């Protein structure tokens, strides 16, 4: 199985083409594999994480070996199937230009793409950092709601007192709309508690569909009239609304967090107790803790405290001393959506199952 990281958007995926590294990679985490090949031809289905894993000990370091910075990820360039990625051993970098083909200043030549005989735009064939389908629902649907959003507008009644609602049905919503006219509808399903403190940080939610405003409440009327635009499951009285977020360009560039992070796995999606590669989990840290989109965390099984078999026993042979075992690192977590106190992460490169309560902290 290939080791995938998160979905990079096309803008982020591509920025690598234009960027170069000023010198050899210095960070130990970004070392190249001893058996790294001289080149790799890009094929359909490749990802940036995939390609970088061919050359690097830690694929999440690819922005450094391509020379990317936070501003350059907006550059509209892409990598396409058929192109060749070269390992410039002298400079310690990856490049789309063959080593030694630069000009006298040591700068790489301008990349010129060959003419493409096809009707659709080139953008449709650009490779991604990871397959977008892995995390798209977590980007566009309200599957996690912070405590503050629980006071959101709610469906208070339906036309003809229908118990469950579908596309085209009228619903009556009570609450402050704050100027929004289109909404996503969700149903709270349970609290997300911090494994360390027990505090409720957010609520899991089931996405049920969308509604749009037909007529806002007028004086003497307590509810707004709305129409169900779409539904993925039955909608009903008590379900809550949040404004539909505007479409955005999601540029995911992996990097170590700016601050030291020591988090715990809060929950695993899909209703399972253990998770594996390419599954989504939540962690009990967010933007207020220094996490941002693209942060990479290392996963550890928490070191247990066990009896010391050679330790001296206490009085009357009682109370054998114990010893704390180290946390065991077994994988990586890519943070792709960040809230105030919690975040979504995509699991990759794990050698053991992920469990609730496992440690997720900054790379060492």
The confidence score (pLDDT) of residue 233 equals 84
CB 113 within 8 A of CB 38: no
In angstroms, the CA 330 to CA 51 distance is 21
Query: Residue 361 has what pLDDT?
Result: 94
Partners of 95 in the beta sheet?
A: 86
pLDDT of residue 117: 38
Residues paired with 333 in a beta bridge: 297, 347
The pLDDT score that the predictor gives to residue 165 is 82
Q: Is the dihedral of CA 13, 17, 18, 21 positive or negative?
A: positive
DSSP element (H, E) containing 282: strand 280-283
Which pLDDT does position 318 carry in this prediction? 59
- DSSP label at 71? T
pLDDT, residue 250, reads 61
How many angstroms separate the Cα of 128 from the Cα of each of 5, 63, 135, 244, 359? 10, 14, 13, 25, 28
Could you give phi then psi for residue 245, rounded to 5 degrees? -70, 150
Condensed to tens digits (0 to 9), the pLDDT of residues 185-240 reads 999 888 889 988 999 999 888 899 999 999 999 999 999 999 999 988 889 899 99
Supply the pLDDT for residue 226.
96
- Token readout for 145 is 């709601």
Chain segment 245-291, per-residue pLDDT in tens: 876 556 567 888 989 999 999 988 766 778 888 888 999 999 999 99
pTM exceeds 0.75, yes or no:
no
**Nearest-5° Cα angle at 191, 208 to 240:** 35
Contact 64, 27 (CB under 8 A): yes
DSSP per residue over 204-273, as a string?
A: EEEEEEEEEEEE---TT---EEEEEEEESS-EETT-EEEEPPPP-------B--SS--EEEEEEETTS-S
Annotated domain spans of the chain: 10-109+122-132, 138-243, 262-361
CA 15 to chain centroid, in Å, comes to: 19
Task: With beta carbons less than 8 A apart as the criterion, state whether 91 and 23 touch.
Answer: yes
pLDDT score at 29: 61
From first CA to last CA, the distance across the chain in angstroms is 26
Helix (H) or strand (E) holding 48: helix 48-55
224-231 and 200-215 beta bridge pairing: antiparallel
pLDDT by 10-residue block (mean), the chain, 364 residues: 33 34 42 91 82 84 67 53 87 82 44 38 59 72 78 89 83 94 91 90 90 95 95 89 76 82 89 83 94 91 82 60 87 90 88 92 88
List the CATH code of the domain at 262-361: 2.40.10
Nearest of 304, 357, 350, 353 to residue 327 by alpha carbon: 304
């Amino acid at each position: 199985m290939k080791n995938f990281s998160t979905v990079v958007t096309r803008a982020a995926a591509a920025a690598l083409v234009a960027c170069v590294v000023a010198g050899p990679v210095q960070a130990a985490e970004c070392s190249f594999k001893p058996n790294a090949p001289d080149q790799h031809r890009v094929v359909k289905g490749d990802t940036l994480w995939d390609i970088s894993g061919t050359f690097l000990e830690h694929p999440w370091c690819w922005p450094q070996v391509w020379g990317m910075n936070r501003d350059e990820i907006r550059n509209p360039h892409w990598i396409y199937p058929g192109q060749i990625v070269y390992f410039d051993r002298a400079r310690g970098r990856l490049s789309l230009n063959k080593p030694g083909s630069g000009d006298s200043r040591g700068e790489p030549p301008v990349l010129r793409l060959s003419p493409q005989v096809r009707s659709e735009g080139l953008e449709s064939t650009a490779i991604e950092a990871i397959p977008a389908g892995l995390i798209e629902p977590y980007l566009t649907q309200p599957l996690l709601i912070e405590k503050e959003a629980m006071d959101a507008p709610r469906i208070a009644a339906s036309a003809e007192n229908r118990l469950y609602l579908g596309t085209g049905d009228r619903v009556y919503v009570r609450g402050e709309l704050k100027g929004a006219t289109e909404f996503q509808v969700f149903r709270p399903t349970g609290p997300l508690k911090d494994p360390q403190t027990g505090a409720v940080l957010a609520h899991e939610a089931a996405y049920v569909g969308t509604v749009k405003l037909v007529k806002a409440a007028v004086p003497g009327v307590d509810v707004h009239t709305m129409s169900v635009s779409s539904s993925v499951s039955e909608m009903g009285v008590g379900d809550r609304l949040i404004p539909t977020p505007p479409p955005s360009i999601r540029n995911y560039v992996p990097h170590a967090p700016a601050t030291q992070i020591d988090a715990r796995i809060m929950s695993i999606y899909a209703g399972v107790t253990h998770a594996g590669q390419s599954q989504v989990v939540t962690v009990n840290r967010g933007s207020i803790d220094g996490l941002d989109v693209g942060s990479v965390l290392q996963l550890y099984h928490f070191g247990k405290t066990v009896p010391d078999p050679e330790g001296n026993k206490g009085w009357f042979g009682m109370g054998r001393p114990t010893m704390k075992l180290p946390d065991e690192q077994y994988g990586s977590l890519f943070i792709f959506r960040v809230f105030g106190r919690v975040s979504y992460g995509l699991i990759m490169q794990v050698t053991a199952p992920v469990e609730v309560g496992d440690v997720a902290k900054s790379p060492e």
